[in-house]
Each structure stands twice: as C-alpha cells, then as structure tokens.
Amino acid sequence: LFANITTDFNAAIVTRVAAFHHPATVVHVFDVNAVYKHHVFPKFTAPDASNACLNATSLVVCDDPDKHIYWDVFHPTRVVHEVIGRAFAEFVREHGASAAYGGGY
C-alpha cells in the first residue's frame, strides 16, 4: 500500500515539475527512491534488515538499529538518514546550491 502511495506521489511531483515554467527557475528533483535502490538496499543484506527495528506490537527495540533500514514502519534509521543525506549533498554539489535553496529570501 505505502509503495503505491509513494510511487503515485512521486509521479505527481515529476508531472508538476515538468509543467512548471518560469524563465529564471530551474527545478531539479531529488530521487530518494533511487537512493534506496542503489545505495540503501544493497548495503543492508541481513535477513531481517527490512523489518522495522521497533516492534510496534510489543514495543521491543532491536539489538542493533544500524543493521535495519527502518526504525519503525515509516521512518528510516540513523544510518539510512546518513546515506540519504550524503546522496543529497552530492546532488546539491552536482546541481548547484540553487537546487537546495532558491535564494532571495
């Protein structure tokens, strides 16, 4: 269910960005799904890595959150946030600071 919602939402963003036209503005879309596909999923190979660290039913926390992709059913762990952050920093370096901040404010 969440994968479909995410896919639909991301497609809507790409559609909206493609339709946006302003002579002084260039919009770049950071693809978090690609980061997961190419950098997160290959890094976490433990059999239960895709299971949440926090068991929502028993409220028991796993022994090593850094070996899991998700902290709970929605949120990535610290390690995954770091991977995403590094990928975003590279994205900004490639596309210029204006990709992260429009300026003028």
pLDDT in tens, the chain (105 residues): 566 788 888 899 999 999 998 888 888 899 998 999 999 999 888 877 889 999 989 999 999 999 999 999 889 999 999 999 999 999 999 987 655 554 443
Q: Are 68 and 53 in contact (CB under 8 A)?
A: yes
What number of helices (H) and strands (E) belong to the chain? 3, 0
Which tokens belong to 38? 């190419």
Sketch the domain layout of the chain as residue ranges: 29-99
For the chain, the helix, strand and coil percentages under 3-state DSSP, each to the nearest 5: 50, 5, 50
pTM equals: 0.78
Q: What is the pLDDT of residue 2?
A: 60
Give the pLDDT of residue 103: 45
The residue written with tokens 């302003």 in the block is 22
